Amino acid sequence: MKQMIQKKNKLMLLLSLGAVLLSCIVHVLQRGFQLFADHHMSAMQMDSLTPNPIGLNIMLLIPIILLFLCGYLYMRIRKDHPYIPVLISLVLTFSSISIIAGSGGSVEFHFSIFMVIATVAYYESIGLILLMTVLFAVQHIAGFYMFPSLVYGMSATYMMLIIHGGFLVLTSAATSLQIRSKLKITQELETDRAEKEKQLVAVLERVKRLTDQLEQTSATVAEKSNTTIEMNEEMNTSFKEVAVGLKTQRESVSSIEHNLHDINNRIVQTAYSSEEIRSSAAQTGAIVTDNDQQMKVLFEQIVLVAQSIETATATITSLYESSQKVEGIIATVQEVANQTHLLALNAAIEAARAGEQGKGFAVVAAEIRKLAERSGDATREVQSILSLIREESLSSVEQIEKGQEATDLSVIRAKETIAGFERMNEDLKHMIKLVHHLDGSIQSIQSASIEIAGEISNINAITQQSAAAVEDLFKVSETQMSSSKEVDDEIVQLKEISQSLYKQFSA
């Protein structure tokens, strides 16, 4: 506001200087060359209306003095001094009065009044317009009654006074109304501008608060985004570890499935071997029963030898023939015992391969092996006895006396052999029962193995699906982590924009 008044005063001083110079020029041209004289007047009228030079000089000096005073206030005291507008209005008013007086009261120069009114209106002050109007009114009234030559240049009429005064008042009133309307509009505009400024300040305050909140929110979101990125990285690492673990598990399950198929095949082979063992045991039982019957016959023959020594030769011959038959049977028994021992050994090996589930079968195989060994021992003993009988039968003719003793010994050994065969028969029956149980167990193991193989296949399929799902989750996690990093970058940019806005509004 202060700078605007200083600028207005500076412009008005220049205009006032121009008005003063114009007044001086008019005085020089009129008083020195009579340039503005009324050519329609006679010389006598002009002489009668010639103004007093002292009054003209006073009229010329008044605006000059006021201009110097105004310049002094502007240059030496204050450029926005409150008296400067008043002095400038007086300078312009008295310059117009001086121009009118210097021109000899020429009507054309009365238009300078409107120039002054338009110039003073620049200050937008009704008081200055009123001051100027009063001065011009005093000029016209005083000129009408006392100095008509200074105002009208001739004798004035009431109509001229009324017309001049009317237009002066109308012009001043119109200018005042314009100034008042402009001031009112300006005030309304200022009020509206102040209201807008208040609203703008409120908006700026809200923007600042929103900027602060935005910055805080951005910081919070950025922190949470960083936490999310770290969690995604940890989850990504976990997914990698789970994927590797599932891959290893899948390989392990595949290996287990392969081993189960191999075990199942071996169980099938063991079942076949068990069936063969059961058949062999049945055959061995039949052979042992047959041998038992033959040993009973041999025992009866030995008893007959003991009862009738007279028939020794015939009996010895029959014994020799029977011993040959028994030797063949014993050879068969020996062979069966050997095969049984071999089968028991194979069964023990297979039971050892079967692990925990083959322990019972291993016990059975061990018992079978023991029975086979005892059978072998018994057959060897029988074979040695038969050899002895055969030798004694050959030498019975010469040693008939010794034959009785040999016969008694044969009876004893025959009894023992029969008892051994009976025990062997019982053992074989027990072995057959165990083989039946073993066969049932092997079949149960086979069924369970097939079911386990099926379950392992399902587990393998589920493991493969889980591995595929984990790989998909790993890809999704990578995508999510990439998106989180992009969001974090956007949040950083948003935070920078927020800080920039805050700096602009705080400036």
pLDDT bin (cut points 50, 70, 90) of residue 308 is low
- Measured CA to CA, the distance from residue 418 to residue 297 in angstroms comes to 10
pLDDT at position 222, please?
67
Q: Are 63 and 18 within 8 A, CB to CB?
A: no
Contact assessment for residue 493 and residue 220, using Cβ atoms and an 8 Å cutoff: no
Largest CA distance in the chain: 228
CA geometry: angle 243, 246, 251, nearest 5 deg: 130
Angular region, 24: left φ>0, alpha ψ -120 to 50, beta rest: alpha
Q: Are 368 and 344 a contacting pair, CB within 8 Å?
A: yes
Architecture of domain 269-478: Orthogonal Bundle (1.10)
Measured CA to CA, the distance from residue 25 to residue 34 in angstroms comes to 12
pLDDT of res. 470: 67
**What tens digit of pLDDT does each residue of 134-157 get?**
998 888 888 788 877 777 766 667
By mean pLDDT, which of 32-46, 388-402, 449-463 is the weakest? 32-46
Lowest mean pLDDT among 30-44, 377-391, 481-495: 30-44
CA dist 443 and 270 (Å) reads 10
- pLDDT for 506 equals 61
How many CA atoms are closer than 13 Å to the CA of 305, on its beta-carbon side?
31
Predicted local confidence at residue 13, as pLDDT: 94
Residue type, 400: I
How far CA 342 is from CA of 27, 266, 288, 369, in Å, comes to: 163, 18, 18, 8
Element (H, E) at 349: helix 312-354
| Residue-averaged pLDDT of the chain | 76
Least Cα distance to 313 among 399, 412, 410, 414 occurs for 399
Q: What is the CA radius of gyration of the chain?
A: 75
Higher per-residue pLDDT: 85 or 319: 85
3-state helix, strand, coil in the chain (%, to 5): 90, 0, 10
399-458 pLDDT, tens digit per residue, is 666 666 766 776 787 677 777 767 777 776 777 777 677 677 767 776 766 777 677 777
- What pLDDT, on the 0 to 100 scale, is given for residue 166? 86
Contact 94, 119 (CB under 8 A): no
Q: What is the pLDDT of residues 71-122, one digit of tens each?
A: 999 998 888 899 999 999 999 999 999 898 888 777 788 888 888 998 999 9
Q: What is the C-alpha to C-alpha distance for residues 282 and 336, in angstroms, rounded to an integer?
A: 11
Q: Which two tokens stand for residue 40?
A: 């329609």
More confident residue, 353 or 122: 122
pLDDT at 49 (0 to 100): 44
Sorted by where each begins, the domain ranges of the chain are: 2-156, 269-478
